Amino acid sequence: MTEQDDDAAPGWKAIEKALASVYSSPVHVHFAPTTPRNLGGSNDLDGISVYRQDAHWHYVGFGCTELYEKYPTTNPELSGWGFEFTFRLADSADEPPQWPLQMMQRLAAAVFQEQVDIRPGLLLKVGPLGWNPTRLEALLFIEDPQLGAIDTPHGKMCFLQMVGVTDAEVEGTRGGKTGELVDRLRSADPLLVTDLSRV
């Protein structure tokens, strides 16, 4: 269930409002842990919504921002960490693969537990993506090209999209050339959908 009371979860509703500006149809499926993090749950994301868009799945996380209330110890200008993870996966199956859910939860855990500084332009080696052999073994983080950045009742946030890239592409960014990689990928696909078969 993604339906949240406006007063109880204003941050959540702000994310859903942004999604409604892109998707006229309802969420395809929403994955949520039995117990949310603020009530003692072990997952750092309280939910991941998945939408169907053309030939890919669009995953959107809920939990790296302040979904329910603003905490006095956080940056007053940002909601939580200032971002929510998104991921686009090329896939024609009737239901979305579940491995991206695990990947997003692991990254959220790294943010909360290890305070890993994740921001647009970051490249992070994570090993082969997915369940099948692939040359994509790193993630590039960019602002989601459709969702962008928004203001919420708890501060600003951006939707931070993870894009699968190869080790060779990571090596090619040495010397401050990450922007060139983003431009090249965007010219081939403006939405930067991760395709595990890409070489």
Listed by start position, the domains of the chain span 10-188
Phi-psi region of 176 (alpha: psi -120 to 50; beta: other; left: phi over 0): left
pLDDT, tens digit (0-9, with 9 covering 90-100), for 50-84: 999 989 999 999 999 999 999 988 899 999 999 99
**What percent of the chain shows pLDDT beyond 90?**
81
Q: Shortest CA distance to 119 belongs to which of 88, 82, 145?
A: 82
How many whole angstroms separate alpha carbon 178 and alpha carbon 72? 35
pLDDT band at 189 (very low <50, low <70, confident <90, very high): very high
pLDDT band at 8 (very low <50, low <70, confident <90, very high): confident
pTM here is: 0.93
